[in-house]
Amino acid sequence: MTAFTSEPMPMLQSDDSEPASAPMRHSLWARVLAEFAGSLIICFAIYMMLSLGTAFYGTDMAFVAVGVGVIYAAVTFIFAKISGGQFNPAITVAAMLTSKTRVLDGILYIIAQIIGAICAGGLFAWIIPTSEQVTASAWYTMVINGFGEGSSMASQLSQLGIDFNITMAIIVELVASIIVVATAVVTMKKNGVAKRSHSVAMGIAYAAATAMSFPVTGASINPVRATGIAIFAHGKGLAKEPLTQLWVFWVCAILAAAVVALVIIVSQIIAGSQGNATLADADPAAVALTAAQKPVATQDYQDVAAQDDNVTLTEEEADLASPYGYVAKANETVESYGQQPNTQA
């Protein structure tokens, strides 16, 4: 009989050491807790940076953009291996729409993100120092998200006689959110696990989005970041109550998620149809090569095993013995050079 020996062929993997289809390693509640903790840390760090940092260093766009980017990158790096490091309802919705996150998981993620942001806002409200000269509203003005009179840059803009209206706020927040959501989705595997480049990519995306949106809306980008501070800043004597403008940031975030998911789904459908059309139009040699690259069908295993009733072939051995397998291809290559392969046991 003819015998074939070969080492098991390695599985094709994504850019990390685990297959793209591998299940999440951690339990659902561990992932939900990671989303809660990450959202709390991110929101609290941003609140502190924008309040104390701006008070001592002034409104420096480079400081704000780089600071926000570093915060997101660092926290994402810490928790990405647990939950995928989403921390943003817009990212979670896009991941659900593209089947990278299960619906139940996504709903619990969003709830955890909101609670984490609210806890961050409460902690900030509890620890900020106030006096007769420095009231709480002075701190909240630097941190809240809003447009027009609710913008953190409203006082500077009023001196110039200009105003950022709701239309501009929606467009800027939508574009900024699309940048962030698209970056997040393309740096996730099919099961929602973060790729190696995810944390760095998210830091860059948030920094770029913050740089373009901060003068207009205070750079929400993440609706829970706007929600966490708006709840505690409401009724503190601000020029515009932040809760009345909060809907803009949620609508823009969900719309951005829908746009990104739609583009990805349509591109996948087009790519699949083009691949099928190319295969149908290919010549027989190309079709045979494509078939040789695919796993051997069950019938191929049965045909090979039927040649000898006393032999039980493993999947790899059956593939090697198949007319479309690796040995057949190797034989053809050797024969093309006028040599005969030696496959006798």
Contact 67, 48 (CB under 8 A): no
pLDDT-derived band at 2 (thresholds 50, 70, 90) equals very low
Residue 190 lies in a domain: yes
Q: 108-126 in b/e burial notation, b at 16+ Cβ within 10 A?
A: bbbebbbbbbbbbbebbbe
Burial of 169 (0-12, 13-18, 19+ CB in 10 A): buried
| Contacts by 182-185, CB closer than 8 A, 24 or more apart | 182/260, 182/263, 184/86, 184/88, 184/91, 184/94, 184/95, 185/91, 185/94, 185/95, 185/98, 185/100, 185/260, 185/261, 185/264
For the CA atoms of 319, 325, 326, 329, the dihedral, rounded to the nearest 10 degrees, stands at 170
pLDDT-derived band at 137 (thresholds 50, 70, 90) equals confident
Average pLDDT, whole number, for the chain? 79
Residue 316 lies in a domain: no
> Mind listing the pLDDT tens digit for each residue in 279-304?
666 555 555 555 555 554 444 444 44
Choose the weakest-confidence range: 20-34, 216-230, 254-268, 307-321.
307-321
Residue 194 lies in a domain: yes
Residue 306 lies in a domain: no
3-class secondary structure per residue, 269-280: HHHHHHHHHHHH
DSSP state of 49: I
Q: Please tell me the total count of domains within the chain.
A: 1
Contact 4, 327 (CB under 8 A): yes
Cα–Cα distances (Å) from 171 to 21, 281, 287, in that order, read: 36, 44, 48
Residue 338 lies in a domain: no
Q: Which residue has the higher pLDDT, 284 or 239?
A: 239
pLDDT-derived band at 111 (thresholds 50, 70, 90) equals very high
CA separation for the pair 190, 64 (Å, rounded): 33
Residue 158 lies in a domain: yes
Q: Above 60 in pLDDT, residue 57?
A: yes
Residue 323 tokens read as 């007319």
Distance of CA 301 to the CA centre of its chain: 40
Host domain of residue 241: 28-128+137-270
Q: Above 60 in pLDDT, residue 20?
A: no
What is the pLDDT at residue 124?
95
CA separation for the pair 181, 29 (Å, rounded): 24
Residue 189 lies in a domain: yes
Distance of CA 117 to the CA centre of its chain: 19
pTM of the model: 0.73
CATH code, 116? 1.20.1080.10
Q: Above 60 in pLDDT, residue 262?
A: yes
Residue 21 lies in a domain: no
